[in-house]
Amino acid sequence: MRLGKKQKYVLKKMALNWELGRDLAFRGTPWLQEGGCGYGGETDYSISSSVLQSLYVKKLIKVAYKRFPLEGYELTTSGKAIVENIL
């Protein structure tokens, strides 16, 4: 499976205890946050919606929870296997 640089970056960060989240209230903006969304860790807003959607369609991530105004994602089994190969 071919993955772009940003897709690999997101998967690596998620494997290193960063959570991928998406804002449900306004624009659907995705971001990564160290230690989990809303827990005050370092934040990376450079993730585009197309990167999130691509990883979701490829079944490398799945919705872990939906609690308005946030949707959190986690790696799937396939996503974890890919991460092992790129780390």
Q: Structurally, how many domains does the chain consist of?
A: 1
5 band by pLDDT with thresholds 50, 70 and 90: very high
Range of the domain at 28: 5-86
Please give the Cα distance from 58 to 12 (Å, whole number): 16
Q: What's the half-sphere exposure (Cβ side, CA atoms, 13 Å) at 56?
A: 16
CATH code at position 41: 1.10.10
Q: What does the pLDDT look like over 20-69, one tens digit per residue?
A: 999 998 888 999 999 999 888 999 999 999 999 999 999 999 999 999 99
